[in-house]
Amino acid sequence: MKEDNVGGSEVIVEPHRLTTSDEMNNGSTGGSSSSASARAVVVRNATKVYGSGKNRCAVLEGLNMTIKKGDIYGLLGASGCGKTTLLSCLVGRRSLNSGEILVLGNEPGTPESGVPGPRVGYMPQELALFGDFTIKETLQYFGRIYNLRAAFVDSQLEFLTKLLDLPASDRYVKTLSGGQQRRVSFAVALFHEPELLILDEPTVGVDPLLRHSIWNHLIRQSVDHGRTVIVTTHYIEEARQANTIGMMRSGRLLVEESPENLLNSYRLPSLEAVFLKICIRDGVKKRVEQRIGVAADTSTGPVVTCQTAARPQQPSVDHVNMAFDDSISQISVSEVEHPQFPATPTNSSGEPPVNVELISSTISNTTHLSEADMTRSQQPGSVAAAMASASGGRTTGRKSRSHTFRVALPSSHRLGALIRKNFLLTIFVLLYFLPAFQATVFNVTLGHEPTGLKMAIVNEEINPIQGRICNYSTDCSYSMLSCRYLRYIKDNIVQVPYESVPDALEAGKKGHVWGVIHFGRNFTEEFEVRQTEGDAANLENIMRSRISINMDSSNQQIDVYVEKWLLEAYGNFFKDFMKACMFEPEAGYLPVVVHPVYGQKDTPYTEFMAPGLIISIVYFMAVSLTAGVFVSERQQGLLDRSLVAGVQMTEVLIGHLVNQCTVMMGQTALVFMCMLLLFNIPCHGNLVLAIFITLLQGLVGMCFGLLIATLCDNENSALLLSQASFLPFTVISGVCWPIEGMPFYFRSIAYSMPLTYAIESLRSIFSRGWGIERLDVYAGILISIAWIVALLTMCLIIIRVRKYAS
């Protein structure tokens, strides 16, 4: 690596990187303020508060920190003291509430800083990798993000595999042991050879031998290549290998010194003992401050420290963590005194005596960033001056801006990496075929006429002595008309003869038959009298010439079908009879005729439902896929890690958009083929328009999925929300029942659903053959676009609000 100086700012040219013009323009490969060039990281008066209202707690409280370039800096502190929060502010993933940070000469998150970006290598505490990637794919993914040459990635993979004793590179991350996964995570932070390495507990779950080689590697990075390393660890003694140790407690840095100086000045044999002592002193100082009422500045409202708020009674795990912990700060100093170091006297109650001056002077001696130091730093040429110049002369103050959505053009290599990654994860053929499979299931199962419906037939016209044979003639004779009628009943109804009405009704009550068809003893004669007497027929005759039907109406669909078929059978029977008697057959029909304007008479239910089904399948696939992918990416931490690697949120969104659109197009094509070719659902209008509206709805679904992903923190709640929205959306949007069948007050809700207008639109194209000039069609398009804009806006607002809150 060599460094040039262009126009007063450093440009670091790394030979293994394919430097792009946008990076050069952004200055993301370099660009530091010369006045702060000796310092890799400078933090002044950093304050970070989590939550709001009652849950407001401060995790960083006026923290100051200085890290020299090329140093290894060991950041130590008890669990929950704010180390991870500080690191996430350094890498630009969180913003401070007040205070200033400079990383490699610039404020993290600004386009010119290169942080987040390739200048920094970050190993977060959590794994933050995709389990479905192999080790090689993981490095290749980040290689593309950093725009590294493939040969360089391969050679680094080989080198790091040996150094970190990684398993075979074709092993999936999810199949590795916890320790192996952490080593892969470590490799990801190292492999692009960044100027600044930020490692959050890299040696957890690593055996001593490997820990030794990791530290050796870090030392080589620092000594041979001048790279800066910030490392947090709970193994305090391993931090002896660091050039400087920063010790954090309750959101502040108590001491920042080399390990040798610490051991010498405290005359203690171990760093653990030194830290315990410093913590106890800090605890004593705090209690003193509380007693004399100088502790807290309450001008901005009461803000407790997160540690205190989160775990007031948390038991300590080890000797050192006990010392870190506020709640046990009353431990006597003498418990850890080295014989050569004079013990602090205690009072009769075992508590150290309260001596503000003594404690204050001790603290100010042991803490490097004292008031005086801060005052000195305001001098020209000081760090503070460097900060002021780098931040354009702004004074320290509350910052609320977020760098989540930086205004910069998407980079082709990062977009390429994201799209490739997304495709690797959605390559499953099943994903493309799933909607077509759903459409097939729908077509096979829904909307068809029921068959095998048993109906009891009680025909008293049949003479039991002659057997139960139901003979009839086809001429114009009034003979056994009941049998003649039964012939016209559709085969979907299975006729089961019963001897008596009570028996048949009993069978109906037991659920053996759907209903009972009953013909009286003189049905044919009565029918003849009614025909010959016409309007003069008396009521008794009319009643006896009727076919009496009792139905089990518990199933509305079957009830409707049976009634329809029995009436149709009567129409056909009578038409046939009239024809046989040389009358006009049509004379037997009701004097009401229905002619279809669109569609056909008795349009199958499947055709009514098909447009709604197509839209809802594509929509909900997009919802669940988008929500699932986003939430799992965020939950696994890869999103955060990618953002630290320099990926912009807009690139993540575009990457998903490209991927999901491709998947959606494939799914839509298969669904349409299934509907039109396999199940012969007719489309009377413009097919391209129908596909366009479906794809638009897919986009609405994606945006809704994105909204779910921004609202939910884990896969379960995202899944629950998308599942929960499925039924109400499909039902209210009129997929399976006309909106005209809903109560008036509910219709406006139905029309405010994202799918409703699009379904109406598609239905108009499919069954009416309407084009884009019709309101019913273009309303679907316009309202879908409005939904896309509205949902995306909501997502952006929520992302900003949530980022600010965290």
Interface ranges with ligand ATP (CB under 6 A): 50-51, 59, 77, 79-85, 125, 306-307, 310, 806
**Residues whose CB is less than 8 angstroms from the CB of residue 396 and which lie 6 or more positions away in sequence, other chains included:** 44, 45, 98, 99, 100
| Cα 643 from Cα 145, distance rounded (Å) | 10
Q: Which is nearer to ligand ATP, 24 or 310 (CB)?
A: 310
Chain centroid to Cα 393, Å, comes to: 40
Task: Compare residues 51 and 571 and give the one whose CB is closer to ligand ATP.
Answer: 51
Least gap, CB of 407 to ligand ATP (angstroms)? 26
Return the number of the residue (77 or 705) whose C-beta is nearest ligand ATP: 77
Residue 561 CA to residue 747 CA, distance in Å, equals 28
User: In whole angstroms, what is the distance from residue 375 CA to residue 65 CA?
Assistant: 15
Cβ neighbors of 621 (< 8 A, separation 6 or more) are 434, 435, 664, 667, 698, 701
Q: How many CB atoms lie within 10 A of CB 295?
A: 13
| Choice between 319 and 544, CB closer to ligand ATP | 319
Residue 158 to residue 181: CA distance in whole angstroms? 17
Of 643, 644, 668, the residue nearest 655 (C-alpha): 643
Q: 3-state DSSP call for residue 213?
A: helix
Rounded Cα distance, 790 and 703, in Å: 9
CB of 306 to ligand ATP, least distance (A): 3
The angle at the Cα of 770, spanning 764 to 774, to the nearest 5 degrees, equals 95
192, 193, 196, 199: CA torsion to nearest 10: 70
Pick between residue 329 and residue 443 the one whose CB is nearest to ligand ATP. 329
Question: Which residue shows structure tokens 């990187």?
Answer: 17
Q: Compute the least distance from the CB of residue 199 to ligand ATP, in Å.
A: 12
| 125 versus 270: smaller Cβ distance to ligand ATP | 125
Distance CA 796, CA 784 (A): 18
Residue 316 C-beta: closest distance to ligand ATP, Å: 13
Q: Closer CB to ligand ATP, residue 78 or residue 331?
A: 78
Q: Give the nearest distance from C-beta 148 to ligand ATP in angstroms.
A: 30
The residues with which 230 forms a beta bridge, in sequence order, are 73, 198
User: In this complex, which beta carbon is closest to ligand ATP, that of residue 310 or of residue 567?
Assistant: 310
Min dist CB 204 to ligand ATP, Å, is 10
Least separation in angstroms between residue 779's CB and ligand ATP is 43
Q: Whole-angstrom Cα distance, residue 637 to residue 632?
A: 8
Residue 736, token pair as written in the block: 């399976």
Q: Is 59 or 700 the residue whose CB approaches ligand ATP more closely?
A: 59
Please state, in angstroms and rounded to a whole number, the distance separating the CA atoms of residues 292 and 282. Answer: 15
Q: Is 576 exposed, middle or buried (0-12, 13-18, 19+ CB in 10 A)?
A: middle
Q: Which is nearer to ligand ATP, 532 or 806 (CB)?
A: 806
CB 36 within 8 A of CB 386: yes
* Residue type for position 81: C
Q: Which lies closer to ligand ATP via its Cβ, residue 80 or residue 111?
A: 80
Residue 241 corresponds to which tokens in the numbers above?
């290998």
Report the nearest approach of ligand ATP to the CB of residue 189 (Å).
Answer: 16
Smallest gap from Cβ 552 to ligand ATP, in A, equals 60
**Residue 76 C-beta: closest distance to ligand ATP, Å:** 10
Closer of 51 and 628 to ligand ATP (Cβ):
51
Residue 516 phi/psi, 5-degree rounding, is -125, 130
Calculated CA dihedral for residues 611, 615, 617, 619, nearest 10 degrees: -170
Closer residue to ligand ATP in complex, CB, 85/367: 85
Question: Please, what is the Cα angle at 448 between 446 and 454, to 5 degrees?
Answer: 120
Q: How far is the CB of 717 from ligand ATP (least distance, A)?
A: 16
CB of 245 to ligand ATP, least distance (A): 15
CA atoms within 13 A on the CB side of 564: 10
Residue appearing with tokens 């994860």: 425
Please report how close the Cβ of residue 251 comes to ligand ATP at its closest, in angstroms: 8
